[in-house]
């Protein structure tokens, strides 16, 4: 696989589509076992989580519902630290078993803010499923319940993850290529 360039930054292949799909199937099975008979509400955090949530939702194999919320805090490759709710939650989650689905937990600010809001609505339980987790970057102490891949603190794109709106439709996941970007600087 070749490198890709967006907004002057070069990225190299990191996790293939096939590896992603295998891992999602494993997580889906685990969730299906744990939530049988509970009809969990899968809460997809837009925009980045939509491919992961879509594949995970179809791999669970038990009755489940899906809902969406849209949060935004990144500009370019960094967080603004300000988590904006672009689209709110319309479903009532009181008494529901909620599984929040994220593409990535990085600094943890987004998931921390969201969990605070959701807990105030009295769900029966809340768990977090994230495709990617950067444990060394996480600053809020949230440990996701289901993790696709633990990764180092490097900027990632593809499979839903963007750079200023681009690259979400790449089938594979790519990591920023420090060498190429330093050489171009
Ligand atoms: O742990 P954090 O440091 O808070 O980062 C994680 C968040 O960053 C991304 O969202 P972003 O704000 O880029 O919006 P997007 O989903 O529309 O890309 C991602 O989808 C997570 O929600
Ligand atoms: N695209 C992208 N968005 C993020 N949001 C938090 N971390 C990341 C990352 O590594 N890549």
**ipTM attached to this prediction:** 0.98
The tokens for 172 are: 């594979």
Catalytic residue among 55, 106, 172, 182: 106
Does any ligand 1 atom lie closer than 6 A to the CB of residue 130?
A: no
Residue 57's pLDDT is 98
Residue 56's pLDDT is 98
**Closest Cα to atom 18, ligand 1: which residue?**
48
Distances (CA, A) of 42 to 9, 39, 66, 128, 177: 34, 9, 5, 10, 34
Residue 179's pLDDT is 75
Q: Please give the residue range of the domain that contains residue 60.
A: 17-152
Residue 174 lies in a domain: no
Q: What is the mean pLDDT of the chain?
A: 95
Distance 112 CA to ligand 1 centre (A): 12
* Burial (0-12, 13-18, 19+ Cβ within 10 Å), 44: buried
Does any ligand 1 atom lie closer than 6 A to the CB of residue 138?
A: no
Domain count, the chain: 1
Would residue 162 show up in a list of annotated catalytic residues for this protein? no
The tokens for 65 are: 């519902």
Task: Let me know how long the chain is.
Answer: 185
Residue 36 lies in a domain: yes
**Closest Cα to atom 3, ligand 2: which residue?**
161
Among all chains, which residue has been given the structure tokens 């930054």? 9
* β-bridge partners, 104: 132
Residue 176 lies in a domain: no
The 8-class DSSP code of residue 8 comes to T
The 8-class DSSP code of residue 117 comes to H
Residue 117 lies in a domain: yes
pLDDT tens-digit series, residues 53-105? 999 999 999 999 999 999 999 888 888 888 888 888 999 999 999 999 999 99
Distance 138 CA to ligand 2 centre (A): 12
CATH number at residue 101: 3.40.50.2020
Q: Is the dihedral of CA 60, 69, 95, 141 positive or negative?
A: positive
Residue 114 lies in a domain: yes
Residue 7 lies in a domain: no
Does any ligand 2 atom lie closer than 6 A to the CB of residue 156?
A: yes
Closest C-alpha among 142, 152, 172 to residue 11: 172
Among all chains, which residue has been given the structure tokens 């049988």? 36
Does any ligand 2 atom lie closer than 6 A to the CB of residue 131?
A: no
Residue 2 lies in a domain: no
Residue 57 lies in a domain: yes
């Amino acid at each position: 696989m070749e490198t890709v360039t967006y907004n002057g930054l070069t990225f190299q292949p990191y996790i293939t589509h096939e590896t992603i799909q295998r891992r999602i199937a494993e997580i889906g099975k685990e969730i299906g076992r744990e939530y049988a008979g509970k009809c969990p509400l899968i809460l997809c955090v837009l925009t980045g989580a939509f491919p992961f949530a879509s594949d995970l939702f179809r791999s669970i194999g038990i009755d489940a519902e899906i809902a969406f919320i849209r949060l935004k805090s990144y500009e370019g490759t960094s967080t603004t630290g300000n988590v904006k709710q672009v689209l709110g939650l319309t479903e009532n989650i009181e008494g529901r078993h909620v599984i929040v689905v994220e593409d990535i937990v990085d600094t943890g600010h987004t998931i921390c803010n969201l969990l605070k809001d959701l807990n105030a609505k009295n769900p029966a339980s809340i768990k977090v499923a994230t495709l990617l987790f950067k444990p060394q970057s996480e600053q809020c102490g949230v440990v996701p319940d289901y993790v696709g891949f633990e990764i180092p603190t490097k900027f990632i794109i593809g499979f839903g993850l963007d750079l200023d709106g681009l690259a979400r439709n790449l089938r594979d996941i790519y990591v920023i290529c420090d060498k190429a970007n330093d050489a171009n600087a």
